[in-house]
Structure 1
């Protein structure tokens, strides 16, 4: 992939053309895929109204993860929720099974994201506060990971400072990064380090905190732990009550030490100090830019986008929706340099986007639902993106490893497997426990405005499924070789489609259009461009 320079256009509101390409660009970056129906819906809004609606939070999912794994050590029946049961029971097999259930359930939430960025932002923060639940099946009950998902979702579009505090005292996080063993007599620096390096300040050119700041932050955080029931608690007897002095990077801030319950309040002072720095806002704005716009931040982008966006972020008291709204409404976001500089879809973007764009059938019964969600979860893991199992605390490699970044999603193994899976879905389908996941090619074509016109059918399909445009000669070749069977008269396809519409129960008529449409969509999904967003 070419590393294109950033657009010189800035954060001034975009006032250009608002049509299918712009809408599809916005939706593919902010949702999981861009469906025919969603493109049509948002085209009828103004660009600002479209962004405002996408940024509307949605209610947390009502349904809880279910036992889709059979035998449960605490007696939870099949397809009943295990949330609220057996939190203290430590059994590696049961905890692993519950983790797989939770992963599938989360994939279901991605598929049901609707017309809100809420689920995608929850995923963004999950990568930001990356954790590996599978490595902790022996010491962290799976329900704590479910609770953490709800916490990330609660703050995903809200106040970042409040989110950081909530995650700092999140029981799963406390155990994961050893905060539960951080005491005045034995300070543990793990969380104090990651709080600065990965969660708030980063390692950018303006980041100049020192090792002493890591140790001092750990001292501030002493006493925050979990009780025997895995609930957060502050143990004042384990808290360092002395004053804590930070380096010149933090203005030599002194956090006054307190004994008793007031000692817990030192956390608020620590966070206020971190967020008073310019670098904290820039760090988060860079990560948002990498995720939603492009993975190269050159001097132009740093000066024209990151710096003013960080100013807006700070001025809004770190309101996440405010900074996203500014970015998604900007000239920069819609400039061809950026909308044309596609990024490689992550595995979850690929799979959830495919499922939503083709409107893959998900059964209504719990067993069928979990079969579908599990199939997609398992496939995403094999493509190197597994929910709740992020090997490194810095997050998935594709969002942080320079200079390749998103190119790391693709290698000789994963690219072949991506094509194998799309071929499988457009072919016989993926199957699990009696449930089949398969693309309905005829059904998808039927949602387009003019499926009887082979030219419109192809261009309308490409508008939904492909971001980079194909040349007119390529479209003509696809039409003649696939839809027309080598002929040159468009009436061949038109008659075939109209014949099927007139006699939908005629298997011969159906097979004629189904075979050609499956060949068409297989061809499109086999293109390298299909993996770009």
Structure 2
């Protein structure tokens, strides 16, 4: 039988290699040139007015949620375009906080209760289970998101404001909740809130920033990575968007903030951030000509907020964040036409809306540019998108048992980490390379190691159930195709599988090869007869197993195609 996954062929397809040789059996791959043309999508920010079918709804939900299911996409089609966007941008209720799923030795938190406000212990190390709990909770929220952009936007901010090494997960929980609740709010206010958040103060040493020993870490990243970006070198210490003088002065502005209660076991000493006047530099801080030679002094605990107001007087802040949003939702390449027709008007809209984010993101996602055929399919899924797409699109249901649900969430978290995307430990302060480092960008997600893990996951999920705490976490192919429009027709089965799993239609040659996996060398009516016999006698294990095996082989091939790695 044709093996559905060929690592070399997939590397060539995803990375553009043209000189990979070998005699291995190959999965059905596109035969025409599938390199996306350098010509950008057109039509700018004109509101999309074309068809609203399964294909358009799937494209929207692939980019704004994690692995939309067939049911979710069909629901979006039935709702209509306008109603879907209203739902997508609605403010969902905050998810219930993470709980203690099964650790019986926490003296302050019984199993089933949340630990986010509970102290640690001097006698028992509670860090491992709380870390596992938070990891699980993160992925369970993404699994259960529905039609909402909130979780995808939260991950955008996790990348933009990446932190790592936060040992007290109470701080980390608050940080994630800040990014989630503010994901579509005011960008200026979000910067202010992040600046004095406990996790960020710990990560970039803001809690060590004092008058006598100023620390420039956060001040530098505030400018280079979070707001104006680093431009071309215009002179010694002048990066055309900010200068070394600005970094030094801003570090002084940001002095005086401390974290308290880290890993503390005393209920009266919870995790918190406080301003300490005696640690703050009350002197005059002079910014450079890049910020209008602004002067900041004598504002105490309000200085940091005033500083951010000064930074946001620069229009380049709007351009910087709009480019990052574009690369997150559309594509990494921004040429002159895209800059002029998409980025510039979005940036001006952001300024005109006083840096409110929702109108900008909504305008981008409702545009002709976003729905242009050239915007559909060129993005390589990140590891979280990839793994959750399998679970959700193949309708692998979660159990009711809380401990098992959390174990599944934890395994998915670890799986993404093994594929080089660990949610709570972004590898560098600038985020994941896929979203900033040219010329590879998204291609960073695919290498020999991560492709092997992706291939292994496809094989495991297609093969059968994963037993977790006695629960069969599984894809059920018989139940899956039962709701297709005509599961007795092998062509319909392949088409409906593919339109869910792949962003672009397969070629006729690929479909022929896939059908040969489902019914090797046989005419279509053989599938019709075999499936019909199973439907007539579904309790017959021999019939059920025979059909199920064929569908699992087909599924493995479909999710092993290079196209499944794309969005």
| TM-score in terms of structure 2 length | 0.87
| Partner Cα distance (1:388, 1:167) in 2 | 15
Tell me whether 1:471 sits opposite 2:502 in the alignment. Answer: no
Tell me whether 1:251 sits opposite 2:292 in the alignment. Answer: yes
Alignment-derived partner of residue 280 in structure 1: 317
Q: 1:437 to 1:207 in 2, by over 3 A?
A: farther
Tell me whether 1:532 sits opposite 2:559 in the alignment. Answer: no
1:7–1:338: 8 Å Cα contact kept in structure 2? Answer: yes
Offset of 1:251 from its aligned partner? 1.2
Alignment-derived partner of residue 232 in structure 1: 273
Alignment-derived partner of residue 458 in structure 2: 422
Alignment-derived partner of residue 222 in structure 1: 255
Matches within 5 A, 1:135-284: 136-137=166-167, 141-204=168-231, 208-228=241-261, 229=269, 230-255=271-296, 257-258=297-298, 262-284=299-321
Alignment-derived partner of residue 389 in structure 2: 353
Matched residue SS, 1:167: helix
Alignment-derived partner of residue 405 in structure 2: 369
- 1:29 pairs, out of 45, 52, 63, with 63
| Partner Cα distance (1:440, 1:64) in 2 | 29
Alignment-derived partner of residue 110 in structure 1: 142
Q: 1:517 to 1:207 in 2, by over 3 A?
A: farther
Matched residue SS, 1:232: strand
Alignment-derived partner of residue 452 in structure 1: 488
2:70–2:500: 8 Å Cα contact kept in structure 1? Answer: yes
| Partner Cα distance (1:288, 1:447) in 2 | 36
2:195–2:201: 8 Å Cα contact kept in structure 1? Answer: yes
Tell me whether 1:504 sits opposite 2:538 in the alignment. Answer: yes
Matched residue SS, 1:44: helix
- 1:60 pairs, out of 84, 91, 94, with 94
Tell me whether 1:434 sits opposite 2:482 in the alignment. Answer: no
Offset of 1:69 from its aligned partner? 5.1
| Partner Cα distance (1:70, 1:357) in 2 | 35
Offset of 1:181 from its aligned partner? 1.6
Matched residue SS, 2:126: helix
Q: CA RMSD in A?
A: 2.0
Q: 1:382 to 1:92 in 2, by over 3 A?
A: farther
1:47–1:329: 8 Å Cα contact kept in structure 2? Answer: no
| Partner Cα distance (2:467, 2:335) in 1 | 45
- 2:372 pairs, out of 335, 342, 347, with 335
Q: How many residues align?
A: 519
1:67–1:81: 8 Å Cα contact kept in structure 2? Answer: no
| TM-score in terms of structure 1 length | 0.93
Note the alpha carbon deviations across 1:291-311, whole angstroms, 9 max, x for none. 110111122211211111111
Offset of 1:191 from its aligned partner? 1.1
Note the alpha carbon deviations across 1:416-473, whole angstroms, 9 max, x for none. 1101111101113334443443211122212322222211111111000111221123
| Partner Cα distance (2:464, 2:288) in 1 | 62
Offset of 1:245 from its aligned partner? 1.4
**Structure 2: segments with no counterpart, 5+ residues:** 1-14, 16-34, 233-238, 262-268
Alignment-derived partner of residue 380 in structure 1: 416
| Partner Cα distance (1:389, 1:495) in 2 | 52
